[in-house]
Structure 1
């Protein structure tokens, strides 16, 4: 029995191992091809986002889109699938723009910081930039809600029985004023709100787009820094970078859809202006100060020692 077992193991085990090795070869080839494709695409995107052309002129392109995007409403079809406000993209992404941006950008910053310096304190300091932008977004929401409630009024449409003959013949739609309601309670009661407002959707989309470009632009210098050290960024970091770029494209597309299919002048332009001012005050103002626990610093500061971030193109 032992002899048969020994002959079986000596005769068939090598064959089984050989077959298993041959079956694994196509899988390894596919993984190598995917890794090469990921490296090529991320290198190309990192070079593009890290270029001075994008960093210096992206905010101008975004401003032009917000200003002239509503003109596209003359050419887009009202029967387009994105002309429906209940579309999947609007329902699943538009109301959670900051959540998606915070998750993907925060993960990218954390992994990049840990892979570059292995310092938890430095990683937390870089992550604090996302926290500051989140706090700014909450302040914007609170202030805009207060201003909308103060500058608007709630109206209740008059029933047909209450419409006088003269107003009906003139084609008028009388409204009853309700001064004791906020915008939220007015809309919840299915009444009409009229007043001045700033588009919070356009505000957060513009702010997130500018934030993503700022945070992702450091990946190109990071690749240039680790190349002489013979240290290739891992696939998880590259994959997170790619996901962040995809999110950036989705936000740009959503912004274009809002401006072209649901133009609201000047509400959307005011929201875009507030998003731009928020980015300008943080990334072009406060973050340019000396990095410390009172100031997170610009993206990349403290991560690239041989390439001082002051020498990186940061002028906008």
Structure 2
């Protein structure tokens, strides 16, 4: 009883925050400020912290499979909410297709960035020892290896230098904005007295916790692994993807070519929630 009451209070408060019009309008600006503050954040952290190691559990467990975690929790939440509201399989699948569209955008940009990186970068191999009599014997000499792809170069323990965009920051920004959009309708759902049993509330709470985790990991990347130009470009690409989907394409629906925005067709205040 106490646990259920705590769950109701927590989810109601989270739904109120995520559904707030000010939060929804300015969340992307908050991410932008966070990205621009990256160089300053690195001055206030210790490089001896456990979060300064790429082998940390959170990076290995969540960051490397961030899109999978987002799909699991957001997809489950959208499916349960839409089906419990309208009992329509087709409507539920239409709302789930937003995840498919976002995944296609993410994979497409990853492919483009990979091609761009291979076209503009070069692979270098560090020499085991500099030649005798070399005046720069105190420096590490690099041997250019032509014809190597970035993945193969890094896989062989060599160095890659070239144009890069932070895929981690791109993914985290896109996932944060996607989570904020998809969970924002829960407040309107509760206001309309929709069925809000423990399973749906637990899924919503998991989505909120995942959003908090992605924000924390984004903060860690900016503070402990500062790469300002590449991270800024990655964040800009994530925000651009969100804007193109949720403010460009989805408002055109629902139709055969567009899944529509969250809440449309589910809530009486769907247009307002969307």
So what's the TM-score if we normalise by structure 2? 0.97
Deviations 1:103-142 (CA, angstroms, capped at 9, x unpaired): 0000000000011111111100000000000111110111
1:302 aligns with 2:265: yes
Deviation, 1:293, is: 2.5
Cα distance in 2 for partners of 1:108, 1:180 equals: 46
After the TM superposition, which parts of structure 1 deviate over 6 Å for at least 4 consecutive aligned residues? none
Q: Which aligned pairs between 1:1-316 and structure 2 lie closer than 5 A?
A: 32-162=1-131, 164-168=133-137, 171-226=138-193, 232-305=195-268, 307=269, 309-312=270-273
Three-state SS of the structure 2 residue aligned to 1:177 is strand
Count of residues in correspondence between the two structures: 274
How far has the Cα of 1:201 moved from its partner? Answer: 0.4
8 Å CA contact retained: 2:85, 2:195: no
Partner SS, residue 143 of structure 2 = strand
User: In structure 1, what is the Cα distance between the partners aligned to 2:195 and 2:119?
Assistant: 55
TM-score between the two structures when normalised by the length of structure 1: 0.84
Calculate the aligned-residue CA RMSD, in Å.
Answer: 1.2
Return closer, same or farther for 1:142/1:81 CA change in 2, 3 Å cut-off.
Answer: same
Question: Which deviates further from its counterpart, 69-78 or 97-106?
Answer: 69-78
1:7-48 deviation digits (Å, cap 9, x = unpaired): xxxxxxxxxxxxxxxxxxxxxxxxx11111111110110011
Q: Are the structure 2 counterparts of residues 268 and 90 from structure 1 closer, same or farther at C-alpha, using a change threshold of 3 Å?
A: same
Unmatched 5+ residue regions in structure 1?
1-31
Task: Give the superposition deviation at 1:174.
Answer: 2.4
| CA-CA distance at 1:232 after TM superposition | 4.3
CA distance in 2 between counterparts of 1:195 and 1:290 reads 40
* Structure possessing the higher radius of gyration over alpha carbons: 1
Q: Is the 8 A contact 2:38 2:228 kept in 1?
A: no
SS of equivalent to 1:180: coil
Distance change in 2, residues 1:161/1:57 (3 Å) = closer
- 1:20 paired residue number: none
Q: 1:110 to 1:163 in 2, by over 3 A?
A: farther
